[in-house]
Structure 1
Amino acid sequence: MEIFRDQQSLRNYIERQKEMGKKIGFAPTMGALHLGHISLYEAAEKENDLVISSIFVNPTQFNNPTDLEKYPRNIEKDIEILKDCGFVDAVYIPEVSDIYPEGLSSQQYDFDGLENEMEGKFRPGHFDGVGTVVEKLFRQVKPDNAYFGEKDYQQLAIIKKLVEKQNLPVHIHGVPIYREKNGLAMSSRNERLSPQQREPAKLIHQTLVKVNDWFRIITIPEIYRRVQEIFEDQKEMKLEYFEIADEDTLKETDFFYQDKKYRAFIVVFVGDVRLIDNMHLT
């Protein structure tokens, strides 16, 4: 597996691969790799000649400096995981100066309102940071296909809109959420959970399963009330928000229409660790 730590060496490698007609699959990450990331590489390996990953903790998408400081980092462990998984041909580990040569700042985007829903209400500017780093990485790696997990469903929708708006020649693929045995969605932030917190955190996924059972049987206000009740008695967990939204527009809905697709979104603090999850409602 090739390891590139600067933009110039990556550029030379990409040019050689393009000259040979290689189709490139790309999965950008912020490191702290887990089986959810491996599922992205596995999906990419099936559809491309070459799989490239990147590891870069992007400062401009963090609203909370403490969250940025505490974000788990272990580059050497990540490199070993990439080597062992067998799906990845190269990894790009850029410096901040490679991504932000003119200093840390985000481009401002119009994602047709997708950026104002859910996470956008709680993390202003977050998706400008996401769009900025993803666009820069796409322009450097020049992938044919890029892979993102559906755990960050709103981010996936934003990136699809980014590609459309910026006319980038990349096809975006969503990969299903990879879960731990107890149902907890795999996330790099899970590393910050204590053993005592990890088991109760399964309640997040269990709640979504209940919501799917209630879907089309009871009213949306009643579903919201029941979800609130579930977390009211949890000492270690605090519900930040729960929404049922249209999968295409991400706008919250108060009624089920037969011709629409819906998804339930939930964000819960377990101690000081913020965990997100979602589920398509069937």
Structure 2
Amino acid sequence: MSSSTLPESTIPLLTSLTSCRQWRQQVRDDRISVGFVATMGALHAGHLSLVRHSKKANDRTVISIFVNPAQFAPHEDLSTYPRTIEQDLRMLEEIGGVDAVFLPGMKDMYPSGIVQDPERQRGTFVEVKGYGSEMEGRSRPLFFRGVATVVTKLFNAVEPTRAYFGQKDIQQALLLRRMCSDLLFSHPEPQNLHIVPTERDGTDNLALSSRNAYLGPEERKVANTLYRALSLAKEGWESGLSKSGCIASARDLVEGIRAETGVEMRLDYIELNDSDSFEVVGDEKTEVDYGTRPVLLSGALWVGRTRLIDNLILGDPALLGILDSHVEGKF
């Protein structure tokens, strides 16, 4: 990103790989810890929660803003994805700032070039075999290939001591932790990739997302339908209802709200998956051992032209390394 096109900011802006590495070398020389939050911009309170957790635990915090073409399929919303750099920087300043914002250019991130069509892509990509094709990966083939590739590049550039990702994208966070283990990352080590609880709207529990900005007024009124459906499924599962019964009740709730409001909605999926393998769990509650690892109850719902995702944890979130949600709001 060209520095000439950026708004003024009190936060140091690292607009190239070279400037990022120079900043990181200085921090390394000072032997202090670095926390890292990777984003595509259009920041909201969920991103700020990640920043707050990082600032609490690390000497320095850096956030990246880069809209990654490799995680968008050819038909997806790359060109219309919200880009709000001036607002993003202002939000960071209002919570006390971060120590640097990394704003890499496309050439820095993809030296061999990048196109949105995976069939025409050339260069080096990272794939977490067998795990990226489950859950979200079933609906968005090659999505996690794009995520794993760009996060590998960002980790190599920033070399964070700790990194922070949101529970809303639970499969992404767990998959990246596995990637750090499989590829022997030292910055961050797998146990230092932390997951922060989903930040929700205080009135209706809608999971905060940059894509919520796409919702029209009537769509926004029912955007918490997925959360309500997941909550109903969780209640049923914990009361002894079979998995198929839980999912059926969740689907019925979605269909009922759609019919009542007339808002266009389409359920992509609601499913229960093993938190280690991401494989679909069986129908009987006896097949799940909460004592070893929780189960992921997740879903995706189209509201109009906006695809929303959410999840709830069945079992103890701490077993997945999900942090306590409370941190101070100001620094």
- Match for residue 280 of structure 1? 313
Q: Please give the alpha-carbon distance, in whole angstroms, between the structure 2 residues aligned to 1:87 and 1:263.
A: 34
- Match for residue 259 of structure 1? 289
Which whole-Å deviations, capped at 9, do the CAs of 1:85-116 have from their partners, x for residues lacking one? 21511100111111001111474445252111
- Match for residue 210 of structure 1? 232
4+ runs of 1 displaced by more than 3 Å? 105-110
Q: 1:12 aligned to 18, 22, 31, which one?
A: 22
Identical residues among aligned pairs (%): 36
Q: Please give the alpha-carbon distance, in whole angstroms, between the structure 2 residues aligned to 1:32 and 1:52.
A: 16
Q: 1:82 aligned to 76, 92, 103, which one?
A: 92
SS in 1 for 2:88: helix
SS in 2 for 1:240: strand
1:222 Cα deviation (Å)?
0.9
- Match for residue 146 of structure 1? 163
**2:127 and 2:149 in contact (8 A); partners too:** no
1:162 equivalent in alignment to 2:190: no
Q: TM-score, normalised by structure 2?
A: 0.82
SS in 2 for 1:134: helix
Q: Please give the alpha-carbon distance, in whole angstroms, between the structure 1 residues aligned to 2:102 and 2:296.
A: 33
- Match for residue 129 of structure 1? 146
Q: 2:199 aligned to 178, 183, 188, which one?
A: 178
Q: TM-score, normalised by structure 1?
A: 0.96
- Match for residue 274 of structure 2? 246
- Match for residue 102 of structure 2? 92
1:65 Cα deviation (Å)?
3.9
Which whole-Å deviations, capped at 9, do the CAs of 1:148-188 have from their partners, x for residues lacking one? 00100110111111101111110200000000121100000
Q: Please give the alpha-carbon distance, in whole angstroms, between the structure 1 residues aligned to 2:228 and 2:42.
A: 25
1:236 Cα deviation (Å)?
2.1
Q: Please give the alpha-carbon distance, in whole angstroms, between the structure 1 residues aligned to 2:193 and 2:124.
A: 21
Which whole-Å deviations, capped at 9, do the CAs of 1:44-83 have from their partners, x for residues lacking one? 0111000000000000000144411121111111111112
How many positions carry a matched residue from both structures? 282
Output the amino acid matched with 1:173.
H
**1:24 and 1:51 in contact (8 A); partners too:** yes
Q: Please give the alpha-carbon distance, in whole angstroms, between the structure 2 residues aligned to 1:133 and 1:210.
A: 35
**2:272 and 2:297 in contact (8 A); partners too:** yes
SS in 1 for 2:278: coil
Which whole-Å deviations, capped at 9, do the CAs of 1:7-31 have from their partners, x for residues lacking one? 1111111101110011000000000
**1:41 and 1:87 in contact (8 A); partners too:** no
**2:234 and 2:246 in contact (8 A); partners too:** no
Q: CA RMSD in A?
A: 1.4
1:8/1:110 Cα in 2 relative to 1: closer, same or farther (>3 Å)? closer
1:198 equivalent in alignment to 2:220: yes
**2:162 and 2:193 in contact (8 A); partners too:** yes
1:66/1:209 Cα in 2 relative to 1: closer, same or farther (>3 Å)? closer
1:122/1:100 Cα in 2 relative to 1: closer, same or farther (>3 Å)? same
Q: Please give the alpha-carbon distance, in whole angstroms, between the structure 2 residues aligned to 1:198 and 1:258.
A: 35
1:124/1:41 Cα in 2 relative to 1: closer, same or farther (>3 Å)? same
- Match for residue 5 of structure 2? none
- Match for residue 101 of structure 1? 111
- Match for residue 62 of structure 1? 72
